[in-house]
A and B are shown apart, each in its own frame.
Chain A
Amino acid sequence: MNITEKILAKASGKNTVQPGEIVDANVDMVMVHDLTGPLAVEAFKKIGTEKVWDNQKVVVILDHQVPAESIKAAELHKTMRQFAKDRKLRIYDVGRGGICHQVMPEKGHVVPGTVIVGADSHTCTYGAFGAFATGIGSTEAAAVFATGKIWLKVPEAIKINVNGKFGEYVTAKDLILNIIGKLGVDGAIYKSAEFTGQTISEMSIAGRMTVCNMAVEMGAKNGIVEPDETTRKFLQDRVKTLPDFAALKSDKDAAYEQTVEFNVAELEPQVACPSSVDNVKPVSEVGNVPIEQAFIGSCTNGRIEDLRLAAQILKGEKVKDGVRALVIPASVEVYKQALAEGLIEIFTEAGAVVCGSACGPCLGGHIGLLAAGETCVSTSNRNFIGRMGSTEASVYLASPATVAASAVTGKITDLRTLEAP
Chain B
Amino acid sequence: MTVLGPAMKFGNNIDTDVILPGKYLVLVDPYELAKHALEGLDPNFPDKAKKGVIIIGGKNFGCGSSREQAPLALKYAGVKCVIAESFARIFFRNAINIGLAVIEQKGISAAVDDGDKVTVDFEAGTIQNVSKGRSFQVVKLPPFILEILADGGLIENLRRRMNKK
* Chain B residues whose CB sits within 8 angstroms of the CB of A39 once the complex forms: 28, 68-69
Q: Is the CB of B158 within 8 A of A382?
A: no
Q: Does B110 contact A (CB under 8 A)?
A: no
A322, B68: Cα distance in complex, Å: 37
**CB–CB B88/A140 < 8 A:** no
B126 at the interface (CB under 8 A from A): no
A6 within 8 A of B: no
Flag if A364 contacts B158 (CB, 8 Å). Answer: no
Interface size on A, residues (CB 8 A): 50
B92 to chain A, nearest CB (A): 9
| Contact among A22, A47, A137, A186 with B59 in the assembled complex (CB-CB below 8 Å) | A186
Q: How far is the CA of A263 from the CA of B67 in the complex (A)?
A: 35
Kindly count the residue-residue contacts between A and B in the assembled complex, taking CB atoms under 8 Å apart: 136
The distance in angstroms between the C-alpha atoms of A208 and B157, with both chains bound, is: 38
Nearest CB to that of B12 among chain A residues? Answer: A186
B158 to chain A: which residues have CB within 8 Å? 47, 143, 146-147
The reply to whether A137 and B155 form a contact with Cβ atoms under 8 Å apart is no
How does the 8 Å CB contact mask read for A173-201 relative to B, with 1 for contact and 0 for none? 00000000000011001100000000000
The distance in angstroms between the C-alpha atoms of A400 and B57, with both chains bound, is 35
- Chain A residues 51-107 with CB under 8 Å of chain B are 64-65, 70, 72-73, 76
Expressed in whole angstroms, the minimum distance between the Cβ of A287 and any Cβ of chain B is 23
Residue of B69, B89, B144 with highest tally of chain A CB at under 10 A: B89
CB contacts under 8 Å to A, within B48-100, are 59-60, 63-69, 86, 88-90, 93-94, 97-98
Nearest CB in chain A: distance from B86 CB, A: 6
Mark the stretch among A229-237, A242-250, A383-391 that contacts chain B.
Answer: A383-391
- Distance A74 CA – B114 CA, assembled complex (angstroms): 42
Contact yes or no, B142 A43, CB < 8 A: no
Partner pick for A219 among B89, B97, B144, B162, CB 8 A cutoff: B89
A365 and B13 contact, CB distance less than 8 A: no
Give 4 nearest A-B pairs by CB, closest first.
A137-B94, A186-B60, A137-B68, A363-B22
24 contacts between A and B (CB under 8 A): A36-B66, A36-B67, A39-B68, A43-B154, A70-B26, A72-B27, A121-B65, A136-B90, A137-B93, A137-B94, A137-B98, A139-B94, A139-B153, A140-B93, A143-B97, A186-B12, A186-B13, A189-B89, A219-B60, A363-B25, A365-B23, A382-B64, A386-B18, A386-B40
